[in-house]
Structure formats: structure tokens, C-alpha cells
Amino acid sequence: MKLLEASGIRKCFGGVVALSNGNFSCQAGRITGLLGANGSGKSTLSKIIAGVYRADAGEIRFLDRLVQYKNPNEARKDGIAMVFQNLSLVPDLRVWQNIVLGAETGRGPFLDDRQAKRASQEILDQLLPGLDIHKLACELNPGEMQIVEIAKAISADPKLLILDEPTAALEKAEVRSLFRFMRLLAARGVAINFTSHRLWEVMEICDEVTIFRNGENVGSMDFAVDGRDPEKIVSHITGIAQKASAAKASRPPSDEVALKVKGLCYADALRDVSFELRKGEILGIGGLAGQGQHELLLALAGSYPGVDCLAEADGKRVRLNKPANAIRNGILLVPGDRALEGLFMKRSVFTNMIFPKLGLAGQPFFTPRKKYREECETAIDVLSIKAHTLDMPVQALSGGNQQKIVVGRWLSFDAKVLLLADPAKGVDVGAKRDLYRSIADQVREKRVSVILYASDIEELVECCDRLLVMYEGEVIATLEGDDINEQKIISTSMRVGQE
Amino acid sequence: MNGTSVALAGFRGAADKQKKLIIAFFLIVFLFVFGQLTVSNFLSFGQVLLTIKLASFIALFGLCQMVVMAGGGDGLDLSVGYTATLTAVLTASIMNGQNANLWIAILVALAIGLLVGAANGFLAAYVKLPPLIVTMSMSLIVQGGINVYTAGANITGKPSPVLQTIAAKSTGIVPNIVFVLLIVAPVVTVVLSRTRWGLALFGTGTNARAAFLGGVPVKRVRFASFVISGLLASLIGLLLLGNMGIAFKDMGSNYVMPSIAAAVVGGVSMSGGEGNYFGVILGAIFLQTLTNLLVAIGWGDAGKWLGFGIVLFTLLIVYVSDRRVR
Amino acid sequence: MGKDPKKAWAATRKYLAKPEFSTLLILVAMLALAAFLQRNFFEAKSLNRTLNAFTPLILLAMGQAVVIISGGLDLSAGTALSLLTCVLTSVMRTANPVSGVYAIVAAFAVAIVIGVVNGIGMGYLRIPSVIATFATSFMWLGAALFLRPTPGGQSVPWFKLFYDVKAYAGAPPALKAFGSMVPSALILVLIGCLFWFVLSRTRTGRYIYAVGSNHTSAYESGINTARIQLRACVINSVFIFLAALFFVGQNQSGDARMGDPLTLRAIAAAVVGGVALSGGRGSVFFALIGALILSLVNKIIFFADIPYAYQTLVSGVIVIIAIASSQAYTLYSRKSMNRRGRLA
């Protein structure tokens, strides 16, 4: 008896198709895993089911009824609860208060705290015995916060529980505890959807998996029937057809070292990262999403004042404690989220393009408009940016052109290392190719080195000379040459063959 | 598509900042027309000039607010009133009605402004205390300082004749302070839109994260904005002294609230990144006109403040509600 | 889990490290200092006088604390208080005892309106509370000046009950006896405390903390955040209303400008009492203590023979120090939270 059935789901964000044909079903009392590479559509589908997004097309049947939720609260009332990775606890309330938040029981207007504490203790005893329910949420470590989030979802007595990468923040012991609880819940008849980037976890806890690629469901395996075969799963995820790797322009990187990094550590996000970047090389940073790639680029750009490492650019020691230092040494960042970190959306193309110059020492007090305008025109030409005038607001441009502006601001600088944090995110295919071609031209002409992080594996495969695969803040593998293909990257990222 | 909808479409298409300027301008016109209809002689030449003269001081203080607001981080400066007063009180006895000591007075003014501004800037930008509380407390401290000074000695002295000419007198029918404004306004606009620091300031206010990643020292920029506000407030104190002829304890405190209101009405965003000094001037004129109108109608102090509050609140709804973020 | 002495000591040590404990310590220190400087400080009469002087600030601080905890700030509290005193003294007619009742009803209604307007601005229209209450403070000031251009107005004799029972000649002897033991100011403060105590046990009370702590999380949990912020503003108005009753009871007149200096001091008192300006944290009862501390500081300044001229100065410096240290503590504890995995 199918508890939930989603068919033909389609969802676009801006011009990007996240889901083209999402099909999914799950049953009560079964644990279904959702698998797929970054951008495959699996988390989009989960969010649509939970009511966070609305599908553009397709239908969802829950308990044999057609449903369309406007917000997560509606879904929750119906019995679908989702636990996100970005935690939504209230920091200054206690654990038990958080668990019952929004659904407190009470006598009349007064809250029944005793009942709330009892219920919370009950749930937590099964999930994470020993956790003090009187602790404030801000006093918990990330793993405990995640558990409390799960407890909160469960306290609503859902029929379908969607867990989106719940194990990302958990230690091994906590994971085991969570699995035990999940089996209990399943035995009680709850349907559970489970996502994880650790393949072994999925294989251990799930009864069946549905695999996504490129916005659609490409296969499902019932473990009881089909057995557990990691290679088969990975091949579904990556697609059997091997992409012929595009002939990379013959520009063998020199042996000179452009940037040397040793022992880069930052909080919990980066652990002892070391590498050498050669002149003219395009070094990719890969791995599953959220393993520290973005943080690595931000750290190299000098945006973490507390970062700890030894860095040398062109043989000269660089202190990466503020962006101005990195910029001065030619280490330039093209940030991932251009709206939040890269551009002033309402300001003009001109303002955006000259902005980095303002932080640079030695620039004149009065901005030399004419000279700057000429430089901007040149940059626009070089990167073929489609903008009518320099004075139009940046938000009026297409995503691809906006991204080119984020890149183009650095053209007049003496760039040594270009840090690209997912430059083609949210940019459509044609513009993406265009963008990369322009960057490749720059690399060729000026012998600039590039560190590229892309959430889309295709980009990494096409462009990179070398690839560092990251996992939980560490570099676990370096791939070169023929090893840079989707299959190998994904299996390395998921640590297949380990655990 | 008829003419109205074309006009509306054009209006909506105009950039946000222009829109606010247009609204402010039309509001002023509306007020004057309304005033002329209800109270005779409201729209006389003399009245208009007097309004502009009074509004000039508000506009000058409004510049302080604009600078601090533009940098973002909920910036505003409530200490400008008493900073100006302190300067006026101290320099009055230094100048004593002579031009000779004007330069010393100016230096003293700069020192006071620097001190207050640096204290504000340090606490707001580096220690990251809310600017509201910081500048409010600083205003108390400066007021306390004035109390201490005036307890020991009476406030004596008069401004130098130069200051009096600039601030109080007129050339022909035009009050001289308007000329000051006419010089300050373009200078300010140029500095803010065409210099490194100005652009960095607006960038910081628009998107502090992007500014930071672009290499701009965000804390330093915000610190500087408070220092500049303090310096300006202090210099305005000299002008106030010139206008009044003497210094007294509450000289500047009535300008603080209107200066913030003028900035907001003039299109300066309280969250930072947007602002045009001409808008602030228009805002000041609007507020002064509104005040005069309410007084002329005969509502007195009560009507003045009530109208003030209602209008400001309404404008806030109009200006801020298009930025409703959960 | 039995009472393990080691555990008890660990729990005690944790409590000692809390900011609330240091606030209590400061209060005790202030009381000691005050008693040292003013020999008869703890005598009933002078305690009574002290309490009367402190009451308006205490009530305002408690109300302000509620707004701040919900994530806002009320800069119009002072002028709202003034307005309410003007309403009271404009409705009352000395000759007509019943007019006192009408006045109370009218003032209460106005208080609710004040709270609703502020709440709509902050909660529904999402205008930053600083500038929203900034604007509304002028509305209250204007209305107050409209009712009472100069201080004055009329008050019924029995209103003095709100200030000091003994001052009202017509009080029955039993009441007078009660009043000489328990001052009216204390009753008013206790009413306020009871009011909040009851509320804190309801959903509204809990949600006020949730909304102030993390607006988005509260919203995603299904809480109507706008409505909660509006309720917080109305609760604040009730405290202001109580303070107005006291003021008119004491002075028998209304004054449109009496509340002006109280706004900042109420905010400072709340912060000194441990309420975090960022919201979600703090206790209304400790805001009361904060008000006590701040008022004692002023009293000490007075008794330490610091010249009147210096008092404003010292006040201002103390406010900054108090707020700075409170904020510094917040930043420190939040920073260590953020570093644990969540890179803010």
C-alpha cells in the first residue's frame, strides 16, 4: 500500500531545471533512501513533498488523496514532517521547549510543562539517551542539535518522516542510535525517507532506494529483492555512458608553484588541508556538497580572520587574515552566491566592476571615472558580457552575465590565483560554456592559476587538470589525468570501498 | 494603454531613489498648496525663504545622519545635537565676539567632533554595540559634560561676526546659510559618489559581506562615518552659535529627531546603502514646511509633534514595507 | 539519579557563572553601599520614599523587557507614559469621584491602542522597531500636549490610593492600617509581577522568547510571529499604564514631558538586569532588579555628594558601561556557539 506517490514532478528555479520528471513512492513501515549526485533533484523533490516548494507540474498523492501544500505547516498537519540540515531550533529555549514548540499541550491557556518534559524525555531516551532536556539549544553541539531537530519532527507523530542528510553532523555512535530509532519507528508503521552522502549508511538502514540523476528518477532498487551492490548503485548515480572528456587545451601547467598551502585549519570545517598549485593549472575541488570546499575557498580569500595556516604565493609569505591581504597578493575570489556575496544587485554594472579597486591601496582618492570606464568596457568586451550600458543595474542582467561581472571585476588586477566558488551555479548550459571558455582564455593568456569548486561534476571533469576530493574538511584524494571522470570522482567522494 | 497607465509605468520604472525624491518633492508642493488654501499668506516669498533657512540647519544635521546611515548596520547618530551644543558653549567664550580667535574656535570644534565621533565609532563599529544605544548614551555624556561646565561658570561669549554673517544674516533676500547649503550639497554628492571612500561606504551599507570580500575594511569605514558625523555636528554647532548669537544648553537637541526624519523622508535607507543629499534637503524642507503649516493652522506644539509622528509613521510604511523580509 | 554532592556543586557553580547571579551580587553591593552612605536607608520611612521614587522606572523597565525579549525595542515608552497621565487628568473631575473610574477605563483603552499601534508597526509592517517607535513617540507626545499643553489637570482625591494610602483622608481605617504596612507602590509592582508571571506560563509568554531568539525558526514552527510581537507591545503598555496610575496618584496632575527621561533609563535598566538587546533572553523580574540597581546608583551618586552637574555625566557613562558589558558577554557566548560547526 503506497503511502505517498509523486509522479511527473517538475520544478524550475529561474531558468534552471531542478526536476524534469520526478517520480517517487514510499510505503508505510519502510525506510526508503534517496540517492543522487549534487543537483540531481533529490532534495528538491523532498522539499516539494514536505511543502517547502510548490511543484510546477505533476501530482502528489498522500494516503490516496491528491495534495498540494502551500507551506511546511500544512504538510505537518497532514502528517508529513521533514528534518532539514539547516537547523531551525530556537537557541535560547531549552531542548524540551524546542521539541514541543508550536504544538504545546496545555490546560486552557496555560502550558502543561510536565507533559511536555515527559514526552520529550520519552522521545530523546530512544534517540539519544543521556541528553539533558534542560540544556539550552545553543549549548548543544551540532550532532545533538540534529537529534533534537529529529525529536521535534517526531513529536508531531508524523506518518511520513523525511530526513535530509541527518547524519552529516553525527558521530558514529549517534548514527547507530538514530538507526535503531528509525527501525523502531518503521516497525510502528511510519514511512521514512532517508538521504545520506555516505553510501554505507544508506545500504545499512534502507529497505529500498530510489536514485536520481539530472532531475529525474533513474532507477530504484529493493534491497530485499535486488541485493546490495554498491557498484550498481554508483553506476546508476553517474550514468553508465561515460562522457568523453573534452580535449583540454594544450597548456601544460608549468612546474612553478603559484600557491603553496600547508596545514590549513579552520574551526571544524577545514582540517589540515595542504596542497600546491602550479602556474597555469586549473585545480578542482570536488567531493559531495558541504564537505568544506566552499570554506576552503573563503579561507584562501582571506575572509576568515581566525584561520591558521602557512601560505606562500609566488614564494612570498601571505597572511590570509583579511581579504585585502589576499587581494594584494593576487589571490582573487569569485564568490559562490553572487547575490549575497559578490554583487550589489541594485547598483550599476560600473559600480560593481570597479568596487574591488576601492579596497586596494594606492588608488586615488577621486575615482578616475574615465579611466575606469574604459577598463570596464574592455572587460565587457573580453568576456562578452551582454549589458546595454555600464549604468544599468546589475540585477537586470541574466545570471550568466551577472556571473561574468563577478569575474570581470578582477580583470584589471594582476591576478595570480583565481578562486572560483561554483561560478556556474544557477547559470544555464549555454552561458555556462561561455563563462568557462572566457575563463580558460584568461588562463591561457595570462598564465593565471585557478582553483575551481563546482557542485556540478561535469564542470570539474571538463576543466580540471587535477582534482582534490574533500570529505568532512579533509583532502582525501588527489585525482589526475584519466582518473578525472564522473565515476571515479563519485565513488571516491562517497568513500566506496571504505567502511 | 492610456496616458495614466503609461505615466504610472514610467514612475514605477524609475529607480527607487528617484522615486523617493519625486515623492518628497511632490509632498512639499502639496503642503505649500494646502497651506496657501487654508492659511492666508502661507505661500509668501518671505515665508518660503524663512522655511528654507530653518530647514537648512536640519538639512545640515541630516547630512550627519545620512553619512552614518549609509554605512549600514542600523547606523544613526543621536549625539549630534549635544555635540553641536557643546562646541557652541565652549567656543562662545573663546571667540567672545571677535574674529581673531575664529581659527582656534574651529580647531576646538574639530577636536570635540573628533573625540565624540571616534568614541561613537569605536563602540558601534568595533565593539559592535547598537548605534542607537551608543549615540544616545554619548548624547547623555556630552550633555553631562555641558552641565559640568555650566555649573562652574556661566555661558559667556558671542560668536565671531563672520559666523554671524554666515549663519544669521542674508544677502539681499536670500539667507546666507542657504549658500552654505548650496556649496555643501554638491561637495557632499561628489565625495559620496565619486571618491573611493564614498563608494566604499555605500557598498558597505548595501551589502557588507560583498564589500568585505571585495577587500573593503568594513569596520574602518563605519568607524570613519561616525567620526565624520561628529566633526560635521561640531562645525554645525559653530553655525548654530552664529545664528543664535549666544550659546545655551538646549541649542542642538531639537534638531536631532528632525534630522533623522529628514533623512528618512529624503530617501536615505535606514539599513544602509542608499541616499542622496538632495533628497535629505528636500526632506528637511518638507518637515519644516509641515511644522510651519501645523503651527499656522493653530495646533501649536501638540499639532506639530502629532502631525510629525503620523506623517513619519506613514512614510515609513510606504518606504519600508517594500522591503518586507521574514 | 540520586543527589550526588559533586553534581550539586557542579550545578551550583554553573549557576554562579550565570549573568543573573552577578546581577544579584551587584544589587546587594549597591544596597550595602546605599546603606553605608545613608544611615537610615533601611528604615521604613526612607525605604518607602525610595520605593516611591523607583517605581515608575521599575514598571517601565519590566514592560520594556518584554518588548526587548520579543525582539523589539520601544522608544515611545516615556511619551506613552506622559500621554496616559494626561488622559487620566483630563478625564477626571475633582468634584466627581466616579470620574476616576472613567479615567482609568479611558487610560487603559488608550494604553491598548498605543500597544496595538506599536505592535502593528513592528510586527505586521516589519518597520524596524527603533524607527517605528521613534515615530510613534511623537504621536503620543503630540496627543499629550494636545490634552495638557501645560502640566496640570484634575484628579480625584481617592486616586492618591495608588501612591500612598495614608495620603487619602477618606480611606477606611482598616485600609489605612494595611497601607502603612504595604505601600501602594509595592502593590502596583506586585500586580505587574503577577501579570507577567501568569503570562509567562502561557503560550504567548513562551513564544515571545522564541520570536525574539530566532524569528525564522519561530515562524517555521508555525508561530504567528507578528501577533506575538503585537502582544508584547500591548503587555508593555499595561506596565506603562500602571506607572501612569502611580504618577497621577503621586502628583495629582498630568505632564506631557514627564516621561521623556525615562525611556532610555528603562532600556538601560532592562539591559543591566540581563535582558539581551538582541532578543530572546532575559527575565522580566531581573529587569526589575536592573531598575533597582540603576536607581540605587543614582541615589548613591546623590549621597556621595557628587555635584548635581556631574550626575547626568555619570549616568551616561554608567549606562554605556552596563550595556557594553552586557553586550560583550552576549557576543562572547554567541561566538563560541557559532564556532561549533556552524560557520556564521
Q: Is the pLDDT of residue A496 over 70?
A: no
State the pLDDT at residue C3.
Answer: 55
In 3D space, the residue among C251, C238, C243, C257 whose CA is nearest the CA of residue C154 turns out to be C251
8 A C-beta contact, residue A79 and residue A161: no
Contacts of C14 in chain A (CB under 8 A): none
Q: Which of C139, C315, C331 sits opposite B128 (nearest CB)?
A: C331
Neighbours of chain C (3+ CB pairs under 8 A): A, B
Closest Cα in chain A, distance from residue B279 (Å) = 18
Q: Which of C210, C222, C337 sits opposite A138 (nearest CB)?
A: C337
Task: Quickly state the pLDDT bin for A93 (edges 50, 70, 90).
Answer: very high
Residue B64 pLDDT: 95
> Is pLDDT above 60 for C340?
no
Give C206→chain B minimum CA distance, Å.
20
- pLDDT attached to residue C329: 64
Record: contact B128-C327, CB cut-off 8 A:
yes
* Shortest CA distance from C224: residue in chain A: A102
Q: Is C260 exposed, middle or buried (CB count within 10 Å of its CB: 0-12, 13-18, 19+)? A: middle
Question: Do the beta carbons of residue C249 and residue C160 sit within 8 Å?
Answer: yes
Examine the pLDDT at B10 and tell me if it is beyond 60: no
Choose the closest CB to C221 out of A102, A109, A139. A102
Residue C274 pLDDT more than 50?
yes
CB–CB contact C216 B326 (8 Å):
yes
Q: B246: pLDDT confidence band, cut at 50, 70 and 90?
A: confident
Any bridge partners for residue A317, and if so which?
A: A312
CA distance B266 to chain A (A): 18
Compare CB distances from A355 to B197, B214, B217 and report the shortest one's residue: B214
How far off is chain A from C72, nearest CA to CA, in Å? 16
What count of CB pairs under 8 Å joins A to C? 74
Q: B284 vs A201, B55, B63, C138, CA distance in Å?
A: 66, 5, 10, 17
Whether B305 sits inside 8 A of C134 (CB atoms) is no
Per-residue pLDDT tens over the stretch A251-291: 566 778 888 888 888 887 888 889 888 888 889 998 877 78
Most confident stretch, A238-252, B162-176, C65-79: C65-79
Q: Which residues contact A310 (CB under 8 A, 6 or more apart)?
A: A260, A261, A262, A263, A317
Res B260: pLDDT: 87
- Kindly state the average pLDDT of the residues C123-140: 89
Does A359 contact B194 at a Cβ distance shorter than 8 Å?
no
Chains near A with 3+ CB pairs less than 8 A apart are: B, C
Which of A82-86, A118-122, A243-247 is predicted least confidently? Answer: A243-247
Mind listing the pLDDT tens digit for each residue in C169-194?
A: 777 887 777 777 788 888 899 999 99
- With CA atoms as reference, the chain B residue closest to C225 would be B326
Task: State which residue of chain A sits closest to C276, comparing Cα positions.
Answer: A92
Q: Which residues of B touch A419 (CB under 8 A)?
A: none
- pLDDT for B112: 95
Rounded CA separation C7/A314 (Å): 57
Residue pLDDT, tens place only, B102-158:
888 899 999 999 999 999 999 999 988 888 888 988 998 898 888 888 877 777 888
Length of chain B: 326
- Can you tell me the mean pLDDT for B6-15? 48
Percent of chain B with pLDDT over 70: 89
pLDDT tens track for B286-306: 888 877 877 777 777 788 788
Q: Are A489 and A457 in contact (CB under 8 A)?
A: yes
So what's the pLDDT on residue B18?
67
The confidence score (pLDDT) of residue C342 equals: 33
pLDDT at B20: 67
Return the C-alpha torsion angle A307, A313, A317, A320, nearest 10: -20
Return d(Cα A449, Cα A314) in angstroms, integer.
11
Testing the interface with C: which of B65, B120, B132, B149 to mutate, by most C Cβ within 10 A? Answer: B132
In this prediction, residue C197 has a pLDDT band, given cuts at 50, 70 and 90, of very high
Least confident of A117-121, A475-479, C23-27: C23-27
Report whether A427 contacts A399 (CB < 8 A). yes
Contact A323 B203 (CB under 8 A): no
- Supply the pLDDT for residue C19: 66
Residue C278 has pLDDT above 70, yes or no: yes
* Residue B6 clears pLDDT 60, i.e. is over it: no
Asked whether residue A244 carries a pLDDT value surpassing 70, the answer given is no
Q: What pLDDT shows up at residue C236? A: 97
Residue in C with minimal Cα distance to A73: C222
DSSP conformational letter for A494? T
In this structure, of A199-208, A298-307, B191-200, C35-44, the range with the lowest mean pLDDT score is C35-44
**Considering chain C, what is the average pLDDT of its residues?**
84
Q: Which residue of B has its CA nearest to C263?
A: B136
**pLDDT value of residue B326:** 34
pLDDT at C18: 66
Q: Choose among C131, C309, C324: nearest Cβ to B129.
A: C324
| pLDDT at A370 (0 to 100) | 85
Of C212, C221, C340, Cβ closest to residue A142: C340
Burial class for A58, CB neighbours closer than 10 Å (0-12, 13-18, 19+) = middle
Between CA A165 and CA C197 the distance in angstroms is 41
Q: Which residues of C touch B260 (CB under 8 A)?
A: 131, 134
* Claim: this prediction has a pTM higher than 0.90: no
Could you tell me the pLDDT band of residue C13, with boundaries at 50, 70 and 90?
low
- Asked if B125 and B69 touch (Cβ cutoff 8 Å), the reply is no
pLDDT of residue B219: 93
- DSSP-assigned states of every residue in C154-209: ---GGGGGGT-GGG-TTS-HHHHHHHHHS-HHHHHHHHHHHHHHHHHTBHHHHHHH
Chain C hits for A265, CB-CB cut-off 8 Å, are: none
Q: Which helix (H) or strand (E) holds A276?
A: strand A270-278
Q: How close is the nearest chain C Cα to the Cα of B291, in Å? A: 12
The verdict on a CB contact (< 8 Å) between A303 and B213 is yes
What tens digit of pLDDT does each residue of B36-92 get?
776 666 667 777 788 888 899 999 999 999 999 999 887 889 999 999 999 999 998
Angle of helix C284-303 relative to helix C44-69, nearest 10 degrees, comes to: 130
**Chain A residue with minimal CA distance to B208?**
A341
- Yes or no, beta carbons of B141 and C135 under 8 Å apart: no
Q: Which residue from A340, A351, A360 is facing B199, i.e. has the nearest CB?
A: A351
State the pLDDT at residue C199.
94
Q: Give the pLDDT mean for C51-55.
A: 87
Nearest-by-CA chain B residue for A322: B215
Contacts of C277 in chain B (CB under 8 A): 130, 133
Question: Tell me: the pLDDT tens digits for C28-47?
Answer: 888 888 888 777 777 777 77
Cβ within 8 Å, pair C127-B145: no
pLDDT at A333 > cutoff 80: yes
Q: How far is A131 from chain B (nearest CA, A)?
A: 32
Q: Any idea which residue has 549555454 for its cell?
A: A430
The residue-averaged pLDDT of C283-309 equals 83
| Cβ atoms of residues C64 and C58 within 8 Å | no
Measure the CA–CA gap between C214 and A388, rounded to whole angstroms: 42
Inter-chain residue contact B302 with C219, CB threshold 8 Å: no
- Confidence band, pLDDT 50/70/90 cuts, at residue B325: very low
Asked if A138 lies within 8 A of C334 by C-beta distance, the reply is yes
**How many residues are recorded in chain C?**
344
Is some CB atom of chain A closer than 8 A to the CB atom of B173?
Answer: no
- pLDDT of C226 reads 93
Answer yes or no: do B210 and A301 touch at CB < 8 A: no
Note whether B213 contacts A355, CB cutoff 8 Å. no
Q: C341 and A267: CB-CB below 8 Å?
A: yes
Q: What is the pLDDT of residue A15?
A: 66
pLDDT digits (tens, 9 = 90+) for A417-465: 889 988 876 666 667 777 788 788 877 787 888 999 887 777 788 888 8
Q: Do A88 and C216 touch (CB under 8 A)?
A: yes
Q: Which of C132, C264, C312 sits opposite B136 (nearest CB)?
A: C264
- Neighboring chain B residues of C121 at a CB cutoff of 8 Å: 313, 316-317
What is the pairing mode between strands A208-213 and A216-222?
antiparallel
- CB-based contact C264 B138, cutoff 8 Å: no
- The B residues from 182 to 221 touching A (CB cutoff 8 Å) are 194-197, 199-200, 202-203, 206-207, 209-217
Subunit contact A322:B217, Cβ cutoff 8 A: yes
Within 8 A of C217 by CB-CB distance, chain A residues are: 88-90
The larger pLDDT score, comparing residue B38 to residue B253, is at B253
Domain ranges across chain B: 42-319
| From the candidate CATH numbers 3.40.1440, 1.10.10, 1.10.3470, 2.60.40, the one assigned to the domain spanning B42-319 | 1.10.3470
Q: Which residue has the higher pLDDT, A245 or A59?
A: A59
pLDDT greater than 90 at residue C90: yes
Q: What is the mean pLDDT of residues A365-372?
A: 82
**Is C143 in contact with B270 (Cβ distance < 8 A)?**
no
Q: What is the pLDDT of residues A16-57, one digit of tens each?
A: 778 888 888 888 999 999 887 766 788 888 888 888 888 888
- What is the CB-side half-sphere exposure of residue A150 using CA atoms within 13 A? 31
Q: Which of B260, B303, B324 sits opposite C126 (nearest CB)?
A: B324
Quote the percentage of chain C above a pLDDT of 90: 40
Query: Do B212 and A360 make contact, defined as CB atoms within 8 angstroms?
Result: no
Is 50 exceeded by the pLDDT of residue C196? yes
Interface test with B, best of C134, C318, C325 (most B CBs within 10 A): C134
Mean pLDDT, residues A148-161 taken together: 90
